[in-house]
Amino acid sequence: MRLFSARYATNDPFVYRLGLQVFILARRVRLPYGSPSFTSLRPKRGLFGFRAAAQPLQVLVTALQKAESLRARKSGRPIAALTAYDFPTARLLDECGVDVLLVGDSLGMVVLGFPDTTHVTLQHMLHHVAAVARAKPKALVVGDLPIHTYETPAQALDTARQLVSAGAEAVKLEGGIRQAEKVRAITAAGIPVMGHLGMLPQCVLEEGGYHKKGRTPEQSDAIREGAQALIDSGVFAIVFESIVPATARLLSESLSVPIIGIGCGDHTCDGEVAVVTDVLGSYPWFVPPFARPEADLAGVTRDAVACYISRVSNRG
């Protein structure tokens, strides 16, 4: 079998040199011949030999590069994040230019019908992470570590690796100081980690409901200490949930990684994350008080289905 060379396909010196340069470039970046990345670099064979120009070089952005790019936006362009739980939603959101697709354990409520996130299992998360990842989004795909799957550093790392194998590019976990060693274990393995402080949905049963955080100086100090522990352990960003706006703004301004708020008021953090069904208005049975629906897909769905039923039923 002959080695790849434009010499065997054309006598045009320009095309030969171009093919040779592409081959050398592929060798330098150590791409195996025949791999998808190498194939995209080769000049295409036309009817009478190779075309005069190769396809543009596709830049492959790694998960670490995506995470570092978001980290570098601290106090810069705000980060827009949304949850996604399936392939079509992920494609649509990515086409709109969202920065982060969070496969959140909120799927337990808005997709699976559970009363809270404590019923979500790792198998649930793997299933939905894989669906979102199949969209091959430019946005960073972050998967939540579900409850009881990161109780030790070793277990946290194993769970993170399973989510990455399913298609996640980063993972998110809840809690501060007590999670520092777990974050270190995951980041040491090259997996980006996003933190989560304030109201912690996985603790809803322990706390007896959802309560606003950061109301007192003691609560504010605890959040700050937890955030710093996460930062020292290597997180690239932290979600603040349901923290009073004044505290969220003060902490966001003083911390060195992007703070992404939900239920923390407008423009108090370095970005926002929202549950996609809240934005689309597709889950009308419960809308959080801080949510701001931008559409009424529930109403549109009902109207469309009513029209469908009417058309099918009307045989006259």
Q: How many CB atoms lie within 10 A of CB 10?
A: 20
Q: State the Cα–Cα distance between residues 196 and 219, nearest whole angstrom.
A: 15
| Residue carrying the six token digits 């320009």 | 14
- The answer to whether residue 241 is catalytic is yes
284 phi/psi in degrees, rounded to 5:
-80, -10
| Residue carrying the six token digits 């930062």 | 231
Select which of 241, 253, 272, 294 is catalytic.
241
Q: State the Cα–Cα distance between residues 225 and 316, nearest whole angstrom.
A: 70
Contacts of 204 (CB under 8 A, 6+ apart): 116, 117, 118, 210
| Residue carrying the six token digits 């003691």 | 218
3-state SS assignment for residue 49: strand
What's the sign of the alpha-carbon dihedral 275, 276, 281, 286?
A: negative
DSSP element (H, E) containing 171: strand 170-172
Integer angstrom CA distances of residue 197 from 15, 219, 228, 241: 57, 11, 11, 6
Integer angstrom CA distances of residue 121 from 53, 90, 169, 183, 191: 50, 21, 19, 20, 21
Helix axes 153-166, 122-133, angle to 10 degrees: 40
Instruction: Supply the residues annotated as catalytic.
Output: 241
